[in-house]
Amino acid sequence: MNDELVDRPLQVGEVIAETIRIYGRRAFVYFAIGAIWALPSFLLTQTTPGAADVVIVGVAFVVGLLVTIPLVLRLSLKAWLRRVAGSAVMLVPLVAVVGVPAGLAALEPWTAAAASVWLALAVFALPVVLLEEAPEGTSTLRYLLTRCVKLGRVGYVHALMTVLVLLLVPHLVGLLMRLALVAYADNTQATSLLIVQAVLMPFVFIGLTVLYCEQSARLQEPVRSAFSCEPHARA
């Protein structure tokens, strides 16, 4: 693929390959995002009860997607911030709809598998709210619900498998990385967990953005974009 947006349906392996390609293209930037995401969420979860941890990680998950989407799609940062500010009323409920299930997915591999069933539909809500405009005469909420269902149903098994793989990466690959960091790099368990989260969570955010793009291409339904369809040229 070239550096343009994903404009065709992909297989699960292709989504993962495209995610790796995008990550590798700006690895230090995405790692910085991962570190900014991981440090406060890690520190907060060390001092709060378990139920609060899910909410904290869920909020961090939504924020991570908010930061990653414009980088993957190469959108104007100024225009993106305006769009986020204008959509704040819709974004707050999405912490419960998308963030909390994502927080549960971070607990154990089996909770990730369970959360994937819901997130294969709900995870599209964030990009739909921020990247698309509801048609005239249609409420934003109605459009959001309809659009998410359509994006999920057009290839639900595919979306489910992709989300599942993405959510399992921090658990399975992360376990191997943590063992290596503790055994060979003389890191503590806490330090290794922080490093692993900083490295792997951007992979999840990028992959979900790619999934939205290719599911949109699979659906082949014209939408009113809130941004230009072409990515912005690099400075």
Rounded Cα distance between 123 and 120, Å, is 6
Q: Is 2 part of a structural domain of the chain?
A: no
Cα-based distances in Å from 187 to 39, 131, 153: 16, 41, 44
Q: Is 127 part of a structural domain of the chain?
A: yes
Q: What is the pLDDT of residues 5-44, one digit of tens each?
A: 677 889 999 999 999 999 999 999 999 888 877 776 666 6
Q: Is 124 part of a structural domain of the chain?
A: yes
If one counts the domains in the chain, the total is 1
Range of the domain at 19: 12-225
Rounded Cα distance between 156 and 24, Å, is 28
The one-character DSSP state at 223 is: -
- Determine the pLDDT at residue 42: 67
The count of other CB atoms within 10 Å of the CB of residue 87 is: 16
pLDDT exceeds 90 at position 127: yes
The count of other CB atoms within 10 Å of the CB of residue 33 is: 21
Q: Is 1 part of a structural domain of the chain?
A: no
